[in-house]
Amino acid sequence: MQSREVHLVSRPEGLPSDDCFEIVEVELPAPSAGEVTVRNRYLSVDPYMRGRMRDIESYSPPYELGMVMHGAAVGEVVASEHADFATGDLVSSNFGWREGYTASAATLSKLPDDADRPSYYLGVLGMPGLTAYAGTLDVGRVAEGETFFVSGAAGAVGSTAGQVARMHGCRVIGSAGSDEKVAWLLDELGFDAAFNYRTSDLDAALAEAAPDGVDVYFDNVGYDHLQAALERMNPYGRVAACGSISGYNATDPRPGPSNLSTIVGKRVTIQGFIVSDYADRRPQFLSDMRRWLGEGEVRTRETFLDGIDHAVEAFRGLFDGSNAGKMVVRLDA
């Protein structure tokens, strides 16, 4: 079987351009004992990948130049030399942007037999979903009656976080980058308030949306959003610091919020977190989220780009808001 895969060949400055990547065609070996060969159906593009393109040690090691862009993918077993894996089984891997691979079955997770939307395991039932779940419940520690604000609210993480908070009795406010996304949050996801940060004064819009202040801020954006949220935070407020996408492609250091000192008087806690620390929450998360999806209590949407040659474009789309909900590269169209 032939497979094309996307390699990082140079480190981007600013928004990653096409010439930082190369599509390479490889021949997959047949599986040895204990291995399977998988044809991927869905590849994930996620904002955190921008950090791994830098040559800086962080919680994930930097991508090596000349290597495949690793990340989550869902595919179908096409050949198996492992007793627990049969042809046709759906599996998720972390082998990233490639059409297929042969690998030890031990490195893969089988999707449940009733996974009727396999791509959800890259989004609302995958890493972004668990990020939203743990960030809202374990880091944000939302309580009934509190006001919850999430930025990047129409994204894979934000849209899930807002709905988790709503289901725990919060008044939920979201910011998003288009009127269409705002309408989706309000009309489909049950947000109590939402605004388009591109066409609003952020401070004024948040003040109007949160007349009683903000108790928990789920930060996907950073910078001006964090500043506006801190300005509105209530005493003992919590900030679940998930990411700061508005700075990921910055080439110069950007100053942080000028009102950070307000956290003292307001006793605000700002807690950075990453999803891998909450692996023990996965069973409960999957049980809850599958039930909520089934009952229509949580809704999600996906934006598909077709073909591995659009993986880089899909990734770039995360930064200009091309995605509504989870951005997915679809290989089985």
How many residues bind its own copies (CB under 8 A)? The answer is 34
Site mask for its own copies (CB under 8 A), range 29-68, x = bound: ----------------------x------xx---------
Compute the least distance from the CB of residue 135 to its own copies, in Å: 11
Q: How many other CB atoms are there within 10 angstroms of residue 102's CB atom?
A: 18
Considering only the stretches 93-101, 154-162, 190-198, 272-280, report the one whose residues sit in contact with its own copies under the rule CB under 8 A. Answer: 272-280
Distance CA 275, CA 212 (A): 30
CA atoms within 13 A on the CB side of 327: 20
217-236 residues in contact with its own copies (CB under 8 A) are 222, 226, 235
Compute the least distance from the CB of residue 15 to its own copies, in Å: 17
By the rule CB under 8 A, 266 interacts with its own copies: yes
Q: Which is nearer to its own copies, 198 or 254 (CB)?
A: 254
Burial class (CB in 10 A: 0-12, 13-18, 19+), 148: buried
Structure-token pair, residue 77:
């077993």
> DSSP readout, 271-306?
EE--GGGGGGGHHHHHHHHHHHHHHTSS---EEEEE
Q: Which helix (H) or strand (E) holds 23?
A: strand 21-27
Mapping DSSP to helix (H, G, I), strand (E, B) and coil, where does residue 282 land? helix
Compute the least distance from the CB of residue 220 to its own copies, in Å: 10
Of positions 33, 83, 106, 264, contacts its own copies by CB under 8 A:
264
Binding stretches for its own copies (CB under 8 A)? 51, 58-59, 222, 226, 235, 241-244, 247, 253-274, 277
